Amino acid sequence: MATPQRDELPVAGLTTGQLARLLGVSPTTLRSWDRRYGFGPASRADGRHRRWSPHDVAMAQEMCRLTATGTPPAEAARTARLRARGADGTDGPGEWSPVPSDRTDGTAPRAGSGLPLGRVRSECRGLARAAVRLDAEEVRELLRRAVAQHGPAVAWEEVMSPALQAVGRKWQSSGAEGEQYVEVEHLLSWHISAALRHYYLDAARPRRAASGVPVLLSCLPGEQHTLPLDVLTAVLGDEGLAVLMLGGSVPADALITAVRRVASLAVVLWAQTGDTADLALARRVAGARWGVRGARTRTPVLLCGPGWHPVTDDAEPSELTHVTSLHDAVRTLTGLGRERPSR
């Protein structure tokens, strides 16, 4: 449906929901801007419902444009108000229009993220926009909704991962200026991790109660990239498997001790780079025995992450399994779960 031009906007103004759809943000974001920065409509319809006038709409559009380029929200709000009043030498609100003059399809401009996203889900674009604005509340809500609607695997592959990769590409291609995207990447990574962990702890709890033998997940010494293991944790929870997550950069002796103490279904070792992919340690883990004396056994070990090269020829096939994708890992682990009864 075509978006009305400035002169065609309702005399009473737009509701918060209508403006949110026009700008491609959530109503929560608009209310947050109003609460934090005093950036909202001044008029109310019938003394109750707040309405955004054409002047307010112009300011909100400028706010979106500025935050999408990395301007801090507080500074963006101040600048948008100044520009709407013409106080900084630019045209005042009489020259503004919700639809730029170079658009002929009657549609409104969407608030861009400034990131090279390509063809992605609309949820991914919304997530990128919120992350660039450093809008933590919106990022949290979009992630919660994506995981709840699509499940952790699809949410990761089609919403979360493309947004993270776009931030990384922007960071690498921007030279010294790319440092401004470090905070975007950190914000997005932290909230993605939190969303996936909450999903496992909350949504997957009823299914997890029926399982007994956990999958032990660990990063190799020096490896801090835990986010892929958070993804695997959430997906395994969906499959009814319990998980014991050791986290990042686990010392070798601590890892061996944990394997010997826990009767795990399998051990997953993550290595993001070749520098942390320690094949000798992986074989030590695979050789660690657990159980009562006289009936000890070993636990299958999965090597996950781009840091691992295919297992060398002198490694026994039953000793280590190199998996190359999330789906491969889940398929292998669920297969082991069907073979081994719960304790």
| Residue 16 neighbours by CB under 8 Å, 6+ apart | 27, 30, 31, 41, 50, 52
pLDDT in tens, 23-67: 777 777 788 777 777 777 765 555 556 788 887 888 888 887 777
Quick check: 159 and 146 in contact, CB under 8 A?
A: yes
The candidate with the shortest Cα–Cα distance to 164, out of 117, 122, 219, 119, is 117
**Residues of the chain predicted below pLDDT 50:** 1-11, 87-112, 176-178, 209-210, 295, 312-313, 316-317, 342-343
- Per-residue confidence (pLDDT) for residue 293, from 0 to 100: 59
- Write the pLDDT tens digit of every residue in 106-155: 333 334 455 656 677 778 888 888 888 888 888 999 999 999 989 999 99
Question: What is the pLDDT, as a whole number, of residue 310?
Answer: 58
Measured distance CA(69)–CA(183) in Å, rounded: 14
Would you give the distance in Å from CA 130 to the centre of its chain? 11
pTM value > 0.85: no
Q: What is the pLDDT of residue 269?
A: 95
* One-letter identity of residue 312: T
Q: How many residues does the chain have?
A: 343
Residue 245 has a pLDDT of: 93
Q: Return the pLDDT at 103.
A: 31
The whole-number pLDDT of residue 23 equals 78
Dist CA 28 CA 101 (whole Å): 29
